[in-house]
Amino acid sequence: MSLALVYRLTLLSRCLTTKSQDKVSIHTSAMEDLLKRELNTTKLRPIGGGGGCINHGEGYETDHGRFFVKMNGDKGARVMFKGEYASLEAIAATGTVTVPKPIKVLDDPRGRGAMLIMEHLDMGGLRSYADQLGEQMARLHLHNEEVAKKGKRPSSRVGQGGDASPAYVSQFGFHTATCCGAIPQDNSWSDDWVSFYATRKLKLQLDLVEKDYHDKETRDLWPQLERKLPKFFEGVKVTPSLLHGDLWGGNAAENSKGPVIFDPASFYGHHEYEMAIASMFGGFGGKFFSAYHKVLPKASGWEARHELYKLFHYLNHWNHFGSSYRSSSVSIMKSLLKDY
């Protein structure tokens, strides 16, 4: 894939029905003046880029090399980019998988949103390194456990400030809000994963569905499913793992050195959560999943929990892209109730 397609790893089916987003162009004199000041450069030459369903993106050649800039004109853009910055820092600190280095979050000088400056990486589609990425993702998910084995002091705020030697995180959540798409996630710390997933993940999405669509069927199904959630985790010990949080095929690539992941919405959660979105839109072949599960084998009840975790993403897509995702959401809820 050419340099002009850096970060443009989107699947058409995911974005065709996207609700209107304020994807403001960064090609304005005020914006370019700001970038020149912040990057201490006289040269700022666009070299191509792209964006996804939510953001506009552009690569730049400067006096100090290349940078990639993501821009969003929504009023919540600063929260989104601060969360992405913190996520990239936290993943990088584990040393398990390559991510672009975040540089700075800036406000749009016109008062319209914000932007994130990061390292520019020449990337193409994930082909040669799918199995390596699978193993690296498993190592990422095991990293917190490995830290615990080394006897590092417990902490629930690892990642804040980009600590290069993180302490063990004993709770589920994250030290700042992160956005899965454009929707901020409540990452308030919790000692209990089932409660965290029910309230911070599923209930948040279902409340948005209720607000925008007043869907009676999901309203009736949710209390039944909520009561049964503990059954999905019987006999399973869930420990906090640092997650990418939105690892679909469009958020992974490779360069000459190996795999790269980007656009994270990180938090500490059950490692199985990560594989749900990875399996939903293609982009990851069998080698990826085989390599992952060779390091982290499937636990008893994995298949049902896999569907439970996919439910979050279908609801999230419903809230982002419209009611074409309603049937999948309702179908999973009914299936989970039937099986349990």
Q: At what angle do helices 326-339 and 302-321 cross, to 10 degrees?
A: 160
**Contact (Cβ atoms closer than 8 angstroms) between residue 107 and residue 89:** no
Q: Which CATH superfamily is domain 130-339 in?
A: Aminoglycoside phosphotransferase (APH), C-terminal lobe (3.90.1200.10)
Alpha carbons 143 and 118: distance in angstroms, whole number:
24
pTM above 0.95, yes or no: no
**Contact (Cβ atoms closer than 8 angstroms) between residue 72 and residue 31:** no
Catalytic residue among 74, 108, 131, 246: 246
Alpha carbons 154 and 204: distance in angstroms, whole number:
28
Domain ranges of the chain: 3-119, 130-339
Residues of the chain with pLDDT under 70: 1-27, 152-165
Q: Give me the pLDDT at residue 152, please.
A: 65
Instruction: Name the nearest CA neighbour of 26 among 83, 82, 78, 70.
Output: 70
Q: Give me the pLDDT at residue 13, please.
A: 44
Alpha carbons 168 and 154: distance in angstroms, whole number:
5
Secondary structure of residue 14 in the 3-state scheme: helix
Q: Give me the pLDDT at residue 53, please.
A: 78
Q: Which residues contact 137 (CB under 8 A, 6 or more apart)?
A: 97, 244, 247, 261, 274, 292
Whether residue 246 lies in the annotated active site: yes
- List b or e across 193-219, with b for residues whose CB sees 16 or more CB atoms inside 10 angstroms: bbebbbebbbebbbebbeeeeebeebe
- Fold topology of 3-119: Phosphorylase Kinase; domain 1 (3.30.200)
Q: Give me the pLDDT at residue 11, please.
A: 44
Farthest-apart Cα atoms in the chain, separation: 63
